[in-house]
Amino acid sequence: MIKTNIRGYFPILDQEVNGHPLVYLDSAATTQKPIQVLEAVKHYYEFENSNVHRGVHTLGNRATDAYEGAREKVRKFINANSTEEIIFTKGTTNSLNMVALSYGRANVGEGDEIVITYMEHHSNLIPWQQLAKEKNATLKYIDMNPDGTLSMDKVKEAITDRTKIVAIAYASNVLGTLNPVKEIAAVAHAHGAVMVVDGAQGVPHFKTDVQDLDCDFLAFSGHKMCGPTGIGVLYGKKEHLEAMNPIDFGGEMISIVGLYESTWADLPWKFEGGTPNIAGAIGLGAAIDFLEEIGMDNIIEHEQRLTRYAIEQLSAIEGVSIYGPQDAAKRSGLVTFNLDGVHPHDVATVLDMEGIAVRAGHHCAQPLMKWLECSATARASFYIYNTEADIDRLVEGLRNAKEYFADVNE
């Protein structure tokens, strides 16, 4: 159970929007930040701000300790073997592009296959699509079941000995589907392929153990788990990272620089060219402390309870269709839906007038929208600070939207 007073840690939630108390249901886009994270970033800038891994001076040491301390928190959080396997990036998109540009370019050749699914966010689709084009490789999509889940039969059909990379979302940002990435990783490995997990919608919501999953790469973003924007993580198995070339050349990532040749710093710094987002990493570390105090098992339990309640309540409104698996135990904390006869933009505007923030559009998943045969949907996504009362407000808002458009449609 999550304590109900958790909302008190999020100052932004305590406000009125358009004359109504804010109900924030867009955490799959970005979560709000608790005071613990805001304070950690402020404290860094007030007492420690300095560049890392450079100066001899005391502030430089404090900044380096705080930055590397955050890396250790991330390592522990996802149970990586070593901090050498934890690279700080700008976010999931940046992390996935690094894998495509470095590992992908070096290991994918003509006629090879990259396997993904229809439910990938554009950030776990376009890097592979572009790599496949560049290398004359084949991009393959695993067929989905009608309810938006993957079956292992289809997975085994798609992955072959020509497959070099399998890249799949831990949880879908539209359908909420939780994908069996551990089982898929085993299939990928049996064919000599690597497994890349897009953890953007997974890592913030439940315990993620990279050694248990046995994934080769895992990407996620700080801002979707109570951390600041502009900080994310790429986890990679050490054996891969050691063999990979850096993408960003410049300061901090070097060992010896000559006029015509250079050598690279040790892991993980070889992949962190330039001054990193130090405050962001420290903020992410504080976010991890915050989430671990709540307990990751409590978080997914809370979200699935809300999802079950939301599916129940929304289904009771005539004209609402819900996408993805109907069983809340098979999904993360979000519900994507449409209201018959009212475009999702119009739904979102009516809800906004009542202080309710939801997402409307294609959710950066255009191929999935095509698969669902709709151009846009509305999405309500939940996190630790949401309650059943928020969903009641959503339901009331939807009933009002339906009524309003029924009137104007007359």
Residues that bind other proteins (CB under 8 A): 18-19, 343-346, 349-350, 352-354, 360-362, 366, 369, 375-376, 400, 404, 408-409
Element (H, E) at 94: helix 92-98
Whose tokens are 């709709």? That residue is 374
State the minimum distance, in angstroms, from the CB of residue 126 to other proteins.
13
Q: 289 phi and psi, to 5 degrees?
A: -55, -45
Q: Are the CB atoms for 201 and 294 separated by under 8 Å?
A: no
282 vs 347, which CB is nearer to other proteins? 347
222 vs 344, which CB is nearer to other proteins? 344
Which residue stretches of 176-295 are H helix?
Answer: 181-190, 210-213, 238-243, 278-294
State the minimum distance, in angstroms, from the CB of residue 399 to other proteins.
10
Q: Are the CB atoms for 330 and 178 separated by under 8 Å?
A: yes
Q: Are the CB atoms for 116 and 125 separated by under 8 Å?
A: yes
191 vs 343, which CB is nearer to other proteins? 343
For residue 374 the two structure tokens come to 């709709």
Q: Is 226 a catalytic residue?
A: no
- β-bridge pairing 359-361 and 356-357: unpaired
Alpha-carbon distance 216 to 238, whole Å? Answer: 9
Alpha-carbon distance 350 to 82, whole Å? Answer: 49
Distance of CA 16 to the CA centre of its chain: 28
286 vs 360, which CB is nearer to other proteins? 360
State the minimum distance, in angstroms, from the CB of residue 400 to other proteins.
5
Write down the catalytic residue from 215, 226, 364, 374.
Answer: 364
Whose tokens are 């007073």? That residue is 5
218 vs 369, which CB is nearer to other proteins? 369
State the minimum distance, in angstroms, from the CB of residue 370 to other proteins.
10
State the minimum distance, in angstroms, from the CB of residue 40 to other proteins.
32
> Which positions are annotated as active-site residues?
364
